[in-house]
Amino acid sequence: MDLLTKNKVNSTPLTPLTFLDRAAIVYGDSTSILYGDSISYTWSQTHRRCLQLASSLSSLGIKKGHVVSVLSPSTPAMYELQFAVPMSGAILNNLNFRLDDKSLSVILIHSESKLVFVDILSLSLACNALDLFPENMQRPELVLIEDDTLAPHQIHALPNNTYEGLIAKGDPNFKWIRPDSEWDPITLTYTSGTTSAPKGVVHCHRAAFIVSLDSLVDWSVPNQPVYLWTLQMFHSNGWSYPWGMAVVGGTNVCTRKLDAPTIYRLIETHGVTHMCAAPVVLNILLNFNKAEPLKNTVNVLTGGSSPPAAILTRAEELGFNISHGFGMTELIGVIISCAWKRGWDRLSAVEKARLKARQGVRKAGVAEVDVVGGNGESVKRDGVTVGEIVVKGACVMLGYLKDEKATAQCLKDGWFYTGDVAVMHEDGYLEIKDRIKDVIISGGENLSSVEVEAVLYMHPAVKEAAVVARPDEFWGETPCAFVSLKDELKETPTEKEIKEFCGEKLPRFMIPKTIVFKDELPKTSTGKIQKHVLRKVAGEMGSLSLSLPPPQLLPSRI
């Protein structure tokens, strides 16, 4: 039999950029973006503005393979740039606007960025970062993104180009630059670096295309949702939903402010149906005293650390339908999610929350996910044996920019090693127990800091909790809890009370031996608690066993 294989027609590179051309036709007269009182675009406007912007980038000398950076919260400009930058052929480098100037300059130098779009509120940060460049080094050009919704700003060093200026100058009939191959890079995103120097994750057009589609299927996103940007788009490419919204012709509600009153107001005003939210945003919403039950269900996709059951229950009471997943920058969005089964609807709220707190199963577009032990073999499906999550499929990054060593460390034996520790339940759903480096080894037992934190979160007075290892001469390590308490408490609990509370729910060796109360826990700019900072604090406390009577028994699981 003659062997047929790919041809020119069916091997057109997969790219999410074609979604925007289509949205301009299908949803041309529907709302694409809403922001403040003044901005309301249609999809045909968004399409035209992106083409004009891409054309102006070309005129400025931006070429295929150049890096173009964006330093902005989730504004309309930030949304448009998710398309416009790659439409010019450039690689899109979303930057975290909460970084300090030093970190920012390191990234801009490392990425060899040619041009930086800067939100007006980040302009001085960007200028300071450029000032830190070595004298003989070419600095990227800045383009100012102004914002009419803000009070007028005094700007000391006005860049040559403004965002709207580039759009006005651009050609709406520009033929956007298609990738030569679907493996060409589309994004360069630096990890938030909770523990180490930021690494530049490179993803290709193919990954963005596939993850955009299967994320919509996985979350059952219908046509024309109203999507609120509570997630920062710089955070792992907005979990692919900037591109996904063009597929379904959604309305993107943009906002700078992420406080509870603003979010609740936007939900009500615009009839929000969907939002992605980091756990910290979910906390803000649920700890808001004046929260009233929602008029219509809002579907929330949350990732990062597992939401404690108490948080999930509270969310459902208010009318949020929480979906929970797991993703990371290296996997361009959420790639494991806790797929809900119709049969679970009948269960109790507590049981539902327990099931929902699990990260779950791979999305349909991901080839394989497993939890493996040190020998590379799948762990037992017993909900107890821990291993590392490994992933295979189109969602996996091309690699870390200019870092072959780090790339080789996580891409090996045909798998991407996530560095996250999980168990596999009997039903094939996995549940994250910890980052590998956050596991506490006490008396030879592997102890999940996340499990201890989940119990601390159940205490009615606890706002936030983080558990890290405190070195110990006898036990090796002991769990040390850092806790912040809720505001306006009538009585504040003592260290002893917290320990007793944990003792009711945890085996003895998992009870924190140390409790440290803090007003605020240190966080990264993306809202993750910085365990490496706390670990350092715990490390400096020294061994606990020296100051206590020696234990009589080795700990064991109860």
Q: Which of residues 184-223 bind a second copy (CB under 8 A)?
A: 185, 202, 204, 207, 210, 213-214, 216-217, 220, 222-223
Indicate whether 394 belongs to the interface with a second copy (CB under 8 A). Answer: yes
Cβ-proximal residues to 338 (8 Å cutoff; 6+ apart), any chain: 323, 324, 325, 355, 356, 357, 358, 359, 360, 361, 429
Which is nearer to a second copy, 64 or 98 (by Cβ)?
Answer: 64
Say if residues 394 and 205 touch (Cβ distance below 8 Å).
no
Q: How many residues bind a second copy (CB under 8 A)?
A: 72
List the interface residues with a second copy, window 21-40 (CB under 8 A).
22, 24-30
H-only helix segments in 367-427: 404-410
Q: What is the DSSP string of 168-185?
A: HHS-TT------SSTTSE
Indicate whether 341 belongs to the interface with a second copy (CB under 8 A). Answer: yes
Q: Residues 61, 172, 376, 428: which binds a second copy (CB under 8 A)? A: 428
Which is nearer to a second copy, 4 or 553 (by Cβ)?
Answer: 4
Q: Residues 134, 152, 343, 374: which binds a second copy (CB under 8 A)? A: 343
Indicate whether 355 belongs to the interface with a second copy (CB under 8 A). Answer: no
Q: Residues 365, 471, 493, 555: which binds a second copy (CB under 8 A)? A: 365
Which is nearer to a second copy, 202 or 291 (by Cβ)?
Answer: 202
Cβ-proximal residues to 302 (8 Å cutoff; 6+ apart), any chain: 276, 277, 278, 279, 282, 322, 323, 324, 325
Which is nearer to a second copy, 217 or 384 (by Cβ)?
Answer: 217
Which is nearer to a second copy, 27 or 482 (by Cβ)?
Answer: 27
Q: Residues 362, 459, 531, 535: which binds a second copy (CB under 8 A)? A: 362
Which is nearer to a second copy, 11 or 446 (by Cβ)?
Answer: 11
Q: Residues 79, 415, 457, 475: which binds a second copy (CB under 8 A)? A: 415
Helix axis angle for 76-87 and 43-59, nearest 10°, is 50
Which is nearer to a second copy, 374 or 414 (by Cβ)?
Answer: 414
Q: Provide the CA 324 distance to its chain's centre, in angstroms.
A: 12
Q: How far is the CB of 53 from a second copy (least distance, A)?
A: 22
List the interface residues with a second copy, window 437-496 (CB under 8 A).
none
Helix axis angle for 241-248 and 76-87, nearest 10°, is 90
Q: Residues 36, 98, 106, 112: which binds a second copy (CB under 8 A)? A: 112
List the interface residues with a second copy, window 245-274 (CB under 8 A).
247-249
Q: Which stretch binds a second copy (CB under 8 A): 118-126, 190-198, 423-431, 473-481?
A: 423-431
Angle at 292 between CA 289 and CA 294, to 5 degrees: 140
Q: Using CB atoms within 10 A of its CB, is residue 328 exposed (0-12), middle (13-18) or buried (19+)?
A: buried
Indicate whether 92 belongs to the interface with a second copy (CB under 8 A). Answer: no
Q: Which stretch binds a second copy (CB under 8 A): 6-14, 252-260, 291-299, 530-538?
A: 6-14
Q: Provide the CA 524 distance to its chain's centre, in angstroms.
A: 12
As beta bridge partners, residue 176 has none
Amino acid at 208: A
Say if residues 522 and 534 touch (Cβ distance below 8 Å).
yes
Cβ-proximal residues to 482 (8 Å cutoff; 6+ apart), any chain: 465, 466, 467, 468, 516, 518, 521, 534, 537
Q: Residues 374, 414, 460, 549: which binds a second copy (CB under 8 A)? A: 414
Q: Which stretch binds a second copy (CB under 8 A): 396-404, 441-449, 471-479, 480-488?
A: 396-404
As beta bridge partners, residue 302 has 277, 324
Give CA–CA dist 435/534, Å, rounded.
15
